[in-house]
Amino acid sequence: MNNLIRKFGFSLVPLFVVGAAAELGLRSAGWPQITEAFEHNEPFWLSDPNLRNKALDHKEERTSFQVSTNVDGLRTAGAVSEKASDAFRVMTLGCSTTFGWGVADAETYPAQLQKLLHDAGYTKVEVINGGQPGYTSFQGRWLWEESLHKYEPDVVLLGFVVQDARKAAYSDKSQAILQGDNRFMKDHVLYNSRVYLALRDLIGTVQVQAKERPEGGKGGVYRVPPEDYVDNLRTLAGAVQDQGAQPVLFGYPLEREGYTEVHRKILKAAAKELAIPYLELQSRMDKASRGESLYFQNDRGHANAQGNARIASWAFEFLVEHDLLGAKG
């Protein structure tokens, strides 16, 4: 038996030698290389903390809007992570659309949702705006683990769809890998191997070269491809449930469905698979925005104050109808 083990061990030596040589060769050749500037300097970022009426430029509209944040960079300036014993918290996750790009603090849909709830007698409900500009479900997973879970929300609206469906030179995961940030990789040790990356690249599961984006932005790859999107939704919903909260998959509405069609179908299917509530407002917004001005004139991707009010009212109706708020008072 010992001789058999020794023979088997010696038979592996050539494989180790070839693998090591390939690893050293790829490293000395500097592969993989970044072939185009990233969308952001780092895979993960946050709004500046403790802002007080900070004026931000809305370049498309040639105006500015004021933003206040708390210690964790959330656009709910007065929010603290410590939760009162009688409080009920609704947390909204998403990108700049949830954050409320272009509108004042009180005009964001989370802020208007809280006002509607208080006016209806749900005075103990706190709405925490967890939206961050540019965020996908990939960053959302990180932010939940980083800080959002500390707020102990009772209901979490997972509103990631707008940025996930956008095209970029690299997917978010590829960007993180190439910059050496492996916090989201289950096999992060293997991702340090150039040979492993080369094999993954050959079968198309990891993107190591930038995809060209011709004029019009129709090229490139999804920031979050469908298979990663499904995994992110499952992971986020599971993390929320593990903390005893109720997740809600929320297809945040744009003026028109457009490029988000594929991801919205996935979102709906995921809600059915996971057996959790699904808040779909796109069809209502499509209809409403044809008769009203609900988005900025020169920035059709972000709702104006009136558009945010519409979204808040629909979210309010949904939460009440699905009995997700508990008792009033």
Q: What is the pLDDT of residues 84-107, one digit of tens each?
A: 999 999 999 999 999 999 999 999
Alpha helices, DSSP H, located in 179-329: 194-202, 226-242, 261-274, 282-288, 305-321
- Closest by CA to 303, choosing from 44, 92, 58, is 58
User: 3-class SS at 51?
Assistant: coil
Question: Residue 169: its pLDDT value, please?
Answer: 81
In the beta sheet, which residues pair with residue 82? Answer: none
- Amino acid sitting at position 100: G
Q: pTM for this one?
A: 0.82
Secondary structure of residue 251 in the 3-state scheme: strand
Per the CB < 8 A criterion, the answer to whether 153 and 128 are in contact is yes
Q: How far apart are CA 252 and CA 111, in angstroms?
A: 16
CA atoms within 13 A on the CB side of 272: 7
pLDDT above 70 covers a percentage of the chain that reads 76
**Nearest-angstrom CA–CA distance, 79 and 118:** 16
The C-alpha atoms of residue 11 and residue 281 are separated, in whole angstroms, by 61
User: Could you read off the pLDDT of 264-314 as tens digits, one per residue?
Assistant: 999 999 999 999 999 999 999 999 999 999 999 999 999 999 999 999 999
> Strands 155-158, 167-168: parallel, antiparallel or unpaired by DSSP?
unpaired
Are the C-beta atoms of 59 and 94 separated by less than 8 Å? no
Chain position carrying tokens 């103990």: 124
Q: Which residues contact 276 (CB under 8 A, 6 or more apart)?
A: 237, 246, 247, 248, 249
Q: What does the mean pLDDT of the chain come to? A: 86
**Strand 155-158 relative to strand 88-93, pairing:** parallel
How far apart (Å, rounded) are the C-alpha atoms in residues 131 and 47?
10
Q: Which domains does the chain have, with CATH numbers?
A: 54-166+223-321 (3.40.50.1110), 170-221 (no CATH)
Tell me the pLDDT band of 38, cut-offs 50, 70 and 90. very low
- Distance (Å) of CA 123 to CA 92, 109, 310: 18, 17, 21
* Residue 279 near residue 315, CB atoms below 8 Å: yes
The amino acid sitting at 102 is: G
Q: Which two tokens stand for residue 22?
A: 């390939």
For residues 82 and 19, the model is more confident at 82
User: By percentage, how much of the chain surpasses pLDDT 90?
Assistant: 68
At residue 222, φ and ψ (nearest 5 deg) are -60, 140
pLDDT in tens, 164-175: 999 988 888 877
Q: Collapse the DSSP code of 184 into the 3-class scheme (helix H, G, I; strand E, B; otherwise coil) and give the result.
A: coil
Beta-bridge mates of residue 89: 126
Rounded (5°) CA angle 147-244-270: 85
Could you give the residue ranges of the DSSP H alpha helices within the chain? 2-28, 96-99, 109-119, 137-146, 172-178, 194-202, 226-242, 261-274, 282-288, 305-321
Per-residue pLDDT for 223 more than 70?
A: yes
Q: How many CB atoms lie within 10 A of CB 183?
A: 12
User: What's the confidence (pLDDT) of residue 24?
Assistant: 76
Q: What is the pLDDT of residue 125?
A: 96
pLDDT band with cut points at 50, 70 and 90 for residue 4: low
Tokens of 296: 């900025």
Q: What is the mean pLDDT of residues 30-55?
A: 73
Segment 53-62 mean pLDDT: 95
Confidence band, pLDDT 50/70/90 cuts, at residue 21: confident
**Distance from first CA to last CA of the chain, Å, rounded?**
75
